Structure 1
Amino acid sequence: MAPAIRDVREHDLDAVLALNNAGGTSILATDPSRLRHLYDIADYFRVAEQDRRLLGFLIAMRETAVYDSPNFRWFQSHYESFVYIDRIVIAPESRGHGLGRVFYCDVQSFAEVRVPLLTCEVFLEPRNDQTVLFHGTMGFQEVGQQQMGESGPKVSLLARELPSFPFVRERYLDHGGLPDVDWLRGRQHAEVRA
């Protein structure tokens, strides 16, 4: 059976936290309160599940989120409208099977009916050519670099233009909004937040 991609549920957070903190040097460790904050502010927070086991997750948010990440703030200061991929983690035994691409295609389908850009960052220290190459093959281009804090790692700030957005904006967003269908609705949890 293939993994199912679905919205995260509150009871998934312990498993998400464990997966995140076992992610290695390419992902920042977090704690329960910070993960809870991400859960509360994320416009997109989906998990991959197979046989009741989480295989990975991806968290993303719109430019209006209240988030103190220096990388997110960099994008806020440079772009008016975007979806920011904060983190993606795939369980070690599930890596190399295309699950990262599935998540990126899914978040792109979420983003391209809402914003013109999909953004993220990759660590340049320690160097991870596989991650840089993955993002390049997914259409991302470097738009900047920065050091995370005084002693944090250097990151490459990446953006991907979403070519479908102008059509969606002209056809729907400028004329009453998106059709009211399930697959276009945003994360319900995110919509009811303040």
Structure 2
Amino acid sequence: MSIVVRDVREHELDSVLALNNAAGPAILPLDAARMRHFFDTAEYFRVAERDGTLVGFLIGMGSSADHDSRNFKWFRERFPEFFYIDRIVVASRRRGGGVGRAFYADAQSYAELRYPQMACEVFLEGVTDPVLLFHGSFGFREIGQRVLVRNGTRAAMLMKELCSHAWVEETYGKTLPDVPWIARVRDPLQAPRSTGTSE
């Protein structure tokens, strides 16, 4: 029962939206317009399948993205270059089965060729110990905290150094070899921005 991580397909957006909005308080809800905006603009938007069933997704982008998330802007005010994980969702029945680790391994493989760090946040309200432990075991460390304007929830702002990036940049600069496994995960359309906002 292998996990397949691959690019999201347009016809899957409703299913991805349902996964997002069923994830509980650890993930901010979205509407269809915002999900479509991510599909059109996110640098990295991948889903995980197990036995042919969609079991999760991860959305990420680089620090130069035109992204209106306040958490993203918090990182950008402090760091010049990073890959930001806007959200990762795993279906509740699949949590603890390796889907999150598969996503983070895939995202890191993509990001370390292009960015020196990965950034994300974890809400500190409710039962967060397993989430914090997961991120800590994957090499993330807390670099600050932020209170979300929308609902007053406190978030731990996490960063992970990508140790291979310095070598890649020194060896190849910004011109990576033209081979399929290095190609950008997605080539997002430059569609007009949605009016929705996220933290």
> Is the TM-score greater than 0.5?
yes
CA distance in structure 2 between the partners assigned to 1:150 and 1:25 by the alignment = 13
- Are 2:186 and 1:188 equivalent residues in the alignment? yes
Q: Secondary structure at the match of 1:125?
A: coil
Q: What is the CA distance between 1:51 and its match in structure 2? A: 3.6
CA distance in structure 1 between the partners assigned to 2:186 and 2:27 by the alignment = 27
CA distance in structure 1 between the partners assigned to 2:96 and 2:47 by the alignment = 17
Match in the other structure for 1:147: 147
1:130-141 matches, within 5 Å, as: 130-141=130-141
Structure 1 vs Structure 2 CA RMSD: 1.4
Greater alpha carbon shift after TM alignment, 17-26 vs 50-59: 50-59
- 1:77-116 CA-to-partner distances (Å, cap 9, x unmatched) read 1111110001111111111111101100100000000010
Asked if structure 1 preserves the Cα contact closer than 8 Å seen for 2:2 and 2:51, the reply is no
Runs ≥4 residues deviating over 6 A: none
Greater alpha carbon shift after TM alignment, 124-133 vs 108-117: 124-133
- Are 2:77 and 1:77 equivalent residues in the alignment? yes
Letter in 1 for 2:96: G
Query: What count of residue pairs does the alignment treat as equivalent?
Result: 191
Q: Structure 2 regions of 5+ residues with no counterpart?
A: 192-199
Match in the other structure for 1:101: 101
Work out the percentage of aligned pairs sharing the same amino acid. Answer: 51
Match in the other structure for 1:25: 25
Which has more helix, going by share of residues? Answer: 1
- 1:157-186 CA-to-partner distances (Å, cap 9, x unmatched) read 000000000000000125xx1000111111
TM-score by length of 1: 0.94
Greater alpha carbon shift after TM alignment, 32-41 vs 81-90: 32-41
CA distance in structure 1 between the partners assigned to 2:186 and 2:145 by the alignment = 34
Q: Which has the higher contact order (CA 8 A, sep 6+)?
A: 2
- 1:132-168 CA-to-partner distances (Å, cap 9, x unmatched) read 1110000001111111116331100000000000000
